[in-house]
Amino acid sequence: MSSDASDGADAKTALRVRALESLLLEKGLIETDAIEELVDMFENRLGPWNGAKVVARAWTDPAFKQRLLQDGTAALAEMGFDTIQGEEMVIVENSPGVHNVIVCTLCSCFPWAVLGLPPVWYKSAPYRAEAARDPRGVLREFGTEIDGDTEVRVWDSNAELRYMVLPERPAGSDNMDAAALAELVTRDSMIGVSKVAPP
Amino acid sequence: MPVVDLELVKNLYKTPGAARLPVDVAPRFKAGDAVVARNINPPGHTRLPRYIRDKKGVIENDLGVFHLPDSRAAGTGDQAQHMYTVRFDAREVWGVEAPANDSLRITLWDDYMNPA
């Protein structure tokens, strides 16, 4: 986003956030170190790099993968990802016959603990409506073609449950270790709108 | 008004509020049961998506006991109910033009369903 219009909008938002922040501080409703902690949480600790580590481990550690698919919440806790908006986690596995995709048709529920805050498109009305009604069409917009024999499963996060997709390990990654594999895993592949590209 | 301080934020991160309830309540359904989502239109909050109402599905698994969001939001008291993953075929929801293979998974509470 580098157009003048979006720069203007960003500048306006930044100004509004600064104004809100100083008001909250002046009124004594929030403390500075609490703001710093919140920013650190969302910038450095909650993000798709967590989910990528989980996926890479599942690809390289079959016992962990089994635990992850059986009880996602417990397996994620092993890795320290039992945090906000990851209280009840279900991990769904993509395979040659099944492709999973996640949506929240009612609002914007998203597994913060492993993927961070949702992208803007995930919260938009068109994605929320179309991912449920025509998931193959939505996937095509993301450049993802799913063959006719494969079952597309849409998971609507309408309850106190958060989903993450375990994407398929790409071809040509056999000799890579977990750290290198984690670098390949994208946020979108863990939402299910794309696949993990070969290295 | 409570002040948002460092401790509050750290607790927010570390000890999130799970909606799962450690109580023993009898489930109305079990895996494999055929169900139909109720056609209810409450004036207040519900987590029963409109597009699934009156559609037939199959219980895939019992997820345990959770607060029913409807009564919580309405302030009419907490209700502990079983919550299930329910499978709906895409064709049942969207009609014959939907691909035959595709499906949806929705989480439904006991109150949201009747036996089909």
The DSSP-derived string for B54-102 is: T-EEEEEEEEEEEE-HHHHHHTS---EEEEEEEEEEHHHHH-TTS-TT-
Give counts: helices (H), strands (E), chain A.
11, 4
In A, minimum Cα distance to B64 occurs at: A88
CB spacing of B47 vs A149 below 8 angstroms:
no
DSSP string across A145-166 = ---TTSEEEEEE--SS-EEEEE
Q: Do residues A194 and A184 make contact, with C-beta atoms less than 8 angstroms apart?
A: no
Question: Which residues of chain B does A38 touch, with a Cβ-Cβ cutoff of 8 Å?
Answer: 9
CA distances from A156 to A2, B2, B3, B83 (A): 33, 34, 35, 14
Beta strands at B34-37 and B103-109: parallel, antiparallel or unpaired: unpaired
Euclidean distance between CA atoms A120 and A148, whole angstroms: 29
**Distances from the Cα of B105 to the Cαs of A29, A100, A150, B88, in angstroms?**
41, 10, 16, 6
A103, containing H or E segment: strand A98-103
Contact between B105 and A154 using a beta-carbon 8 Å cutoff: yes
| Distance of alpha carbon A138 from alpha carbon A143, whole angstroms | 9
- Tokens describing residue A60: 């390289």
Query: Which residues lie below 8 Å from residue A99, measured CB to CB, with a gap of 6+?
Result: A139, A146, A150, A151, A152, A153, A192
Domain spans of chain B, in order of start: 28-115
**Distance between first and last Cα of chain A:** 27
Give the distance from residue B65's alpha carbon to the nearest chain A alpha carbon, in angstroms: 11
Map out the domains of chain A as residue ranges: 4-44, 47-191
pLDDT tens, N- to C-terminus, chain A (199 residues): 444 556 788 899 999 999 999 999 999 999 999 999 999 999 999 999 999 999 999 999 999 999 999 999 999 999 999 888 888 999 999 999 999 999 999 999 999 999 999 999 999 999 999 999 999 999 999 999 999 999 999 999 999 899 999 999 999 999 999 999 999 999 999 999 999 999 9
Which of A29, A152, A158 faces B49 most closely, judged by CB atoms? A158
Of A30, A85, A153, the CB nearest to B105: A153
Q: Which of A23, A34, A41, A17 is nearest to B4 (CA)?
A: A34
| Residuewise pLDDT in 10s, chain B (116 residues) | 678 999 989 888 876 667 788 899 999 999 999 999 999 999 999 999 999 999 999 999 999 999 999 998 898 888 999 999 999 999 999 999 999 999 999 999 999 999 99
Cβ–Cβ below 8 Å for B104 and A153: yes
Residue of A nearest to B1 (CA): A29
Contact between A114 and A50 under an 8 Å Cβ cutoff? The reply is: yes
CATH 3.40.50.2300 fits A47-191, yes or no: no
pLDDT of amino acid A6: 61
* A101 vs A182: CA distance, rounded Å: 20
- Burial grade of A44 (CB within 10 A; 0-12, 13-18, 19 or more): exposed
CATH architecture of B28-115: Roll (2.30)
According to the model, what pLDDT value does residue A3 have? Answer: 46
> What is the model's pTM?
0.93
Closest in B16, B49, B108 to A84, CB measured: B16
